[in-house]
């Protein structure tokens, strides 16, 4: 989908529902105009030519046809939003067998389709659910049921990813169609389930978090994903009137939640941590559970993955104390993003010849997880440890980190693998060039999210299964004078979420406003929670 002709065809051949949506609603955008943002794409193309020596195709027709528009008084956020869609489009492949697929890499001929891998698939689905061409997310979600897919190569909450798509579309058909496959995939993970304690074990590498300090064992990521998948399967089973199945998976989720809360929470460190039989669990080599009688122990290191539970459920309120570490100088604080391990650990950034390490570098992958988890926390009961201002700082640091300095001295927008949280240097990129003369592997690396946490967190649309629209912006008052997300597909409608502090920028009124299909549905005079019912 790189040639200009293909872009135009992609715009013309949108699904019938997408075209009908535009026609029925009269116009796609309520307050913004696509042409006002084309200059970003022209600049990204010029930057790409200078950075890579490649001549990119014109991505603007695809962006104009598919991407919700975004404007903000903070132009760094605005520019990064369009850059991340520019980078995302490079990873959409249209195939004969599976329709649309989404890759991690732009050029990995050693991997099928440049790497259609499950580790970042939840982010891919989260981003793609906001595109006006709904087939991109749907085809990709269905791909993981095909014989060509390997959904357990890495830890992957497939059912939860499908549920997130359904929450945006308002249609459970995708989930009910895939229900048998989602259940089969869940059961296949039993080879990682230790029946003696009820938790799943995993190799850190297979959590896509290699060379971690915590290492292998009963880890927070996979267990949290399995909890989320169980709840998603239960929801789809209820939609399919399979009440017994729903009850069984509700029970699985409840058991995992209890075990994560009681077995993976280290009260000494006040954090969720890996639980292992020894410093090196042996799982990597032996692929087996602990020997009978072996004493389990915590890894005794706080790692950023300890925030993942908040992404999928509401942990015990007393455990919210863990969030004190996010900006602690000896915790995860970093100018260019949170570190993946706490700085106070004696093994922080331990020497490794591997270019991909999770012992302290900042990973956009982990930052995305943390943004989603923190947004969930801040949408729950108030707690004294962290608030909207820290959420905004986390997001602002994320924006700041996504750059690279070229040989000419110019700094351009960029997304790659892992980076130094203090210097903003892309670690894997530099090591691959220095050690292996390998250039370009991580260019535009599609291993994280941006639009989804911005829409659901900072702007605050909280997707739901029912017809109620709930908006809870996490943007602190006074941070921006105005913003708008416009042409956003949701439950068969097109939304615009608009904030204008003075009412002079958009001339639609003062405060926070919700437009549905071009008509103002609800508003409030200040930035804060807003909800309304979708029109029938």
Domains of the chain: 151-301 (1.50.10.10), 314-458 (no CATH)
For the entire predicted model, the pTM comes to: 0.94
Q: Is the dihedral of CA 301, 303, 309, 315 positive or negative?
A: positive
φ, ψ of residue 254 in degrees (nearest 5) = -65, -40
Task: Find how far residue 45's CA is from the centre of its chain.
Answer: 25
CB 304 within 8 A of CB 340: yes
- Residues 263, 218 contacting (CB under 8 angstroms): yes
Cα separation, 313 vs 513, whole angstroms: 29
Tens place of pLDDT for every residue, the chain, 536 residues?
A: 443 333 333 333 344 334 334 333 457 999 999 999 999 999 999 999 999 999 999 999 999 999 999 999 999 999 999 999 999 999 999 999 999 999 999 988 787 777 899 999 999 999 999 999 999 999 999 999 999 999 999 999 999 999 999 999 999 999 999 999 999 999 999 999 999 999 999 999 999 999 999 999 999 999 999 999 999 999 999 999 999 999 999 999 999 999 999 999 999 999 999 999 754 444 444 445 555 456 899 999 999 999 999 999 999 999 999 999 999 999 999 999 999 999 999 999 999 888 899 999 999 999 999 999 999 999 999 999 999 999 999 999 999 999 999 999 999 999 999 999 999 999 998 888 777 667 788 899 999 999 999 999 999 999 999 999 999 999 999 999 999 999 999 999 999 999 999 999 999 999 999 999 999 999 999 999 999 999 98
Beta-bridge mates of residue 520: 515
Q: For residue 106, give Cα distances in angstroms to 53, 127, 264, 292, 461.
A: 14, 17, 37, 46, 31
Exposure of 149 in the CB half-sphere (CA atoms within 13 A) = 25
């Amino acid at each position: 989908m790189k040639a200009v002709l293909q872009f135009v065809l992609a715009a013309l051949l949108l699904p019938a529902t997408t075209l009908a949506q535009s026609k029925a609603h009269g116009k796609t955008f309520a307050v913004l105009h696509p042409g006002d943002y084309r200059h970003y794409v022209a600049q990204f193309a010029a930057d790409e030519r200078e950075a890579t020596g490649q001549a990119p195709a014109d991505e603007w027709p695809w962006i104009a046809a598919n991407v919700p528009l975004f404007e903000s008084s903070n132009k760094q956020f605005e520019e990064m939003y369009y850059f991340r869609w520019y980078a995302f489009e490079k990873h959409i492949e249209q195939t004969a067998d599976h329709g649309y697929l989404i890759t991690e890499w732009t050029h990995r001929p050693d991997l099928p389709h440049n790497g259609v891998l499950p580790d970042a698939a939840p982010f891919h689905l989260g981003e793609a659910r906001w595109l006006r061409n709904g087939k991109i997310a749907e085809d990709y979600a269905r791909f993981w049921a095909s014989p060509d897919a390997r959904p357990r190569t890495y830890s992957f909450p497939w059912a939860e990813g499908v549920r997130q798509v359904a929450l945006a579309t308002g249609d459970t058909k995708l989930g009910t169609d895939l229900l048998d496959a989602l259940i089969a995939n869940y059961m296949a993970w039993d080879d990682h389930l230790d029946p003696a304690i009820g938790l799943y074990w995993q190799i850190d590498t297979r959590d896509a978090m290699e060379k971690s300090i915590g290492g292998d064992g009963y880890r927070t990521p996979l267990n949290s994903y399995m909890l989320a998948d169980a709840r998603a399967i239960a929801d789809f089973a209820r939609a399919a009137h399979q009440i017994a199945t729903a009850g069984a998976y509700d029970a699985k989720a409840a058991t995992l939640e209890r075990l994560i809360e009681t077995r993976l929470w280290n009260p000494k460190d006040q954090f969720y941590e890996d639980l292992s039989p020894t410093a090196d669990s042996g799982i990597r080599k032996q692929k087996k559970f602990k020997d009978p009688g072996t004493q389990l122990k915590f890894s005794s290191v706080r790692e950023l993955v300890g925030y993942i539970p908040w992404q999928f459920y509401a942990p015990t309120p007393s455990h919210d104390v863990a969030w004190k570490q996010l900006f602690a100088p000896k915790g995860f604080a970093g100018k260019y993003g949170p570190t993946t391990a706490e700085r106070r650990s004696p093994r922080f950034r331990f020497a490794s010849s591997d270019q991909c390490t999770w012992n302290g570098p900042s990973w956009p992958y982990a930052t995305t997880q943390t943004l989603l988890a923190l947004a969930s926390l801040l949408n729950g009961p108030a707690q004294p440890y962290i608030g909207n201002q820290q959420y905004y700082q986390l997001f602002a640091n994320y924006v700041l980190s996504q750059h690279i300095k070229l040989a000419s001295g110019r700094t351009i927008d960029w997304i790659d693998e892992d980076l130094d949280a203090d210097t903003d240097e892309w670690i894997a990129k530099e090591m691959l060039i220095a050690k292996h003369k390998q250039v370009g592997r991580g260019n535009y690396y599609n291993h994280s999210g941006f639009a989804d946490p911005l829409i659901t967190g900072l702007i605050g649309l909280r997707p739901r299964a029912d017809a109620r629209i709930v908006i809870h912006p996490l943007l602190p008052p006074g941070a921006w004078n105005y913003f708008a997300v416009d042409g956003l597909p949701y439950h068969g409608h097109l939304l615009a979420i608009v904030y204008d502090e003075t009412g002079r920028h958009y001339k639609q009124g003062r405060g926070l406003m919700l437009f549905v299909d071009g008509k103002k549905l609800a508003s409030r005079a200040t930035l804060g929670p807003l909800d309304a019912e979708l029109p029938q």
